Structures are given as C-alpha cells and as structure tokens.
Structure 1
C-alpha cells in the first residue's frame, strides 16, 4: 500500500515560523515519524512539499494509478484552491486532510476548507501528532477497502457456483 503525503505552502518552514501555533517540530521530523509508522505497518510512503499550487495539483494527479491514498496538508490553499479540490475529486482516492492547528479556532477566513468536502476525513488541531492519526486512519480505510473487496469476491464466487 502506497500513501503520498502532500505538504502545501510554508510547511517547509515548520519549526521556524509561528511556533506558538505550529510548534517546534520541523517537517523532516514529522516525515521521519510517519516513515517509521509506515515501515512498521507494511506501507510505502512518499513525501512531497511545494509552495506552488500548480505543483500540488500535478502531484495529486500523479497519484492516480500510482498511489492507494493521499494525506494532504494544503495549508493556506485549503481555504482558496478550487484547483486542488478538483484534483482530489478527480483522482478519487481516499484522502485525509491534515491541519496542525485547529482551523476552526483561528481567523474567520481559515475556518472554511475548500477541500474537506472531497476528502475522506480531516484531522485538525492535534499538532504534528495529527499526521500520525492520519496514518492510522489511512491504514484503517485501506483495511476496510480490502475487506469489502474480499467480500465482493466471495459473493461473486458464490453466485458463479450456483
């Protein structure tokens, strides 16, 4: 199972910017923890960060046929990008939105997520631990998909035998 983690603008500055909101952890540290979880659970994880909306859209599109799921922190683009929303919708992969801070307790313009309606779920306000929660959630989603596929195969096999 391959998960692509997509990080949006300014997340490359974690550990430096607004530590009172985002904490002291650097993005590389968060990714190292995610990689460790992935290796313990037979998951492949790929990381991508860009400050450019079009590059994020391209990366989401590249996931089609190459990945089983996406974990995305679109950062500021969460609140503005119809293009990222449309890309997530187009690839139709299980997608978990992550935000380090609780966007619902912040400025008014941060409370609305353009991408949440096309994501499988959202994790907000848990700090860097939110990425771990997203990995656990993605593992559960993948296990449920696998179980549903197995059940469907069994049902088809039972119908063929009749």
Structure 2
C-alpha cells in the first residue's frame, strides 16, 4: 500500500487499497471451506429444474463464484435482523458462476460477525442434517417478514431490508 500525503494534505492510498473490502472475502471463503470439510456435514442444493438433490463439494460451497454468495446473503439476513445493519455485500451478476452471481467483496462488518452469521444461517437450514443451500431462500423470506412486522423503534424495525 502506498502511504504518504496527497496534494491536498490528505492520506494517499494505492489503487489496490481502494478496492479492498472491510472483510477479506478470500479469508471468509477459505475458512468456510475448512469449516465445511471438518464438520463432516454434507451441503446440498435442491435443484428445481431437475427435481433432484445435488451434493455440493466444500470447494464449490465456499467459492466466490459458487455458493458463497448464498451463504453470505443468508448470514447478512441473520445479522441485519439482529442489529439493523448489513455487510454491504458486493455481489455481481456472472453468467459463468454456479448461481449466476459472484461475490466480489464484503464492505462492512467484521470477519467474526460475517462468519458467525453465516454459521448461524447454516445451522438454521440444516437441523442437524445436511446444509440445504436452497433453504436459504426460506430463511431470507422469514427474516424479511419478521422485519416488516417489527415495531419501528427496534433495530430490526428500522433496518428496511432491500429485496
């Protein structure tokens, strides 16, 4: 990172530093992969097109162009419902990725809050069995429903989740 002062006396940052997110996406992906591998739990996706349940490898589940965006969005729903704040997820359309979206960055929160929230989301959809990634949709809808019902003076009621 290029330190020093800019012409206006403010701090000067290298271009690559400006592109960094608040939470290291690669670190989250690596940790998610190890967590899934060591847990011994399978990760599955109920594919509506083929009407079949597909087993997902830990590598695909934890990849930024795999299922990691789903884990992050589900974790963010948990965190937003609890605190009224999200993770400023940077997710872009990508037709070459597994879900059609790619995670590009995490702009807010901490490594611990992102990981713990994603782990809670996994727990909520697994019930002790496999982690059913397609059930993250139900988790998201339930969180939105609870937020819409919350009184305006609670953190969850002020959150105003984007759909």
**How does the TM-score come out when normalised to structure 1?**
0.30
- Structure with the bigger percentage of helix: 1
